[in-house]
């Protein structure tokens, strides 16, 4: 040992350069381990890597297919949504048109009913006015004859004379009423001017 220590101290021993027998044993051990790795572990590792690559590529392919399917579904959804909006607009427009037609029809029917009611009311009023005039004419004639008999002092019992007197009296009243109405409308026209 003293010789080895002396050699180490002298600097002849280099720890980086191995001894020859260690180099041979290390090389043989390395080759054995390398062959074991090459034959046993490397195929397993390669198989696992190939499976992972296939799974990743397959996953990417499936993801692309799913993405394409989703895009097609989105496009179909948009197309259906556009069609539904278009159909809803058509239905809304049709409903508005029908509503306008119904309103116009109801207005026409209401106008017609109103006109019929007004015409019926006017006819009824005219008939009532004519009946009232006839009744008043008879009563007025009787009262006028009685009054005239008292004033004149003679009997006006003759029907023809009564009728002529009553008609003349009523004509005078109508003429007087027309004259007053004409004067009133003339005054209104002057006031409006």
2 falls within a domain? no
- Strands (DSSP E) contained in 50-106 are none
Report whether 162 contacts 145 (CB < 8 A): yes
- Tokens 């015409």 sit on residue: 119
User: pLDDT (tens digit, 9 = 90+) per residue, 14-36?
Assistant: 778 878 888 899 999 999 999 98
109 falls within a domain? yes
Q: Show the domain range for 54.
A: 20-184
119 falls within a domain? yes
- The pTM assigned to this predicted structure is 0.36
CA distance 176 to 172: 6
9 falls within a domain? no
Span between the terminal Cα atoms of the chain, in Å: 154
7 falls within a domain? no
Give the number of C-alpha atoms closer than 13 A to the C-alpha of residue 34, restricted to the C-beta side: 6
CA distance 100 to 117: 25
68 falls within a domain? yes
Q: Is residue 182 pLDDT above 60, yes or no?
A: yes
3 falls within a domain? no
User: pLDDT (tens digit, 9 = 90+) per residue, 65-82?
Assistant: 889 999 999 999 999 999
56 falls within a domain? yes
Q: Is residue 107 pLDDT above 80, yes or no?
A: yes
Q: What is the pLDDT of residue 6?
A: 46
User: pLDDT (tens digit, 9 = 90+) per residue, 132-179?
Assistant: 877 777 777 777 777 777 776 666 566 666 667 777 877 888 888 888
Counted domains in the chain: 1
């Amino acid at each position: 040992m003293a010789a080895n220590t002396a050699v180490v101290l002298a600097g002849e021993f280099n720890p980086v350069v191995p001894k020859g027998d260690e180099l041979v044993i290390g090389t043989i051990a390395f080759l054995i381990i390398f062959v074991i790795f090459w034959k046993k572990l490397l195929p397993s590792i390669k198989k696992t890597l190939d499976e992972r690559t296939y799974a990743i590529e397959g996953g990417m392919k499936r993801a692309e297919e799913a993405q394409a399917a989703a895009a097609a579904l989105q496009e179909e959804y948009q197309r259906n949504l556009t069609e539904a909006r278009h159909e809803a607009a058509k239905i809304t427009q049709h409903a508005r048109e029908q509503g306008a037609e119904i309103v116009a029809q109801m207005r026409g029917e209401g106008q017609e009913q109103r006109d019929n009611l007004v015409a019926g009311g006017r006819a009824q009023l005219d008939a009532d006015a004519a009946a009232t005039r006839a009744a008043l004419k008879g009563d007025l004639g009787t009262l006028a004859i009685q009054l005239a008999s008292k004033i004149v002092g003679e009997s006006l019992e003759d029907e023809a004379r009564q009728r002529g007197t009553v008609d003349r009296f009523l004509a005078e009243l109508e003429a007087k009423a027309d004259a007053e109405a004409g004067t009133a409308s003339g005054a209104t026209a002057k006031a409006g001017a």
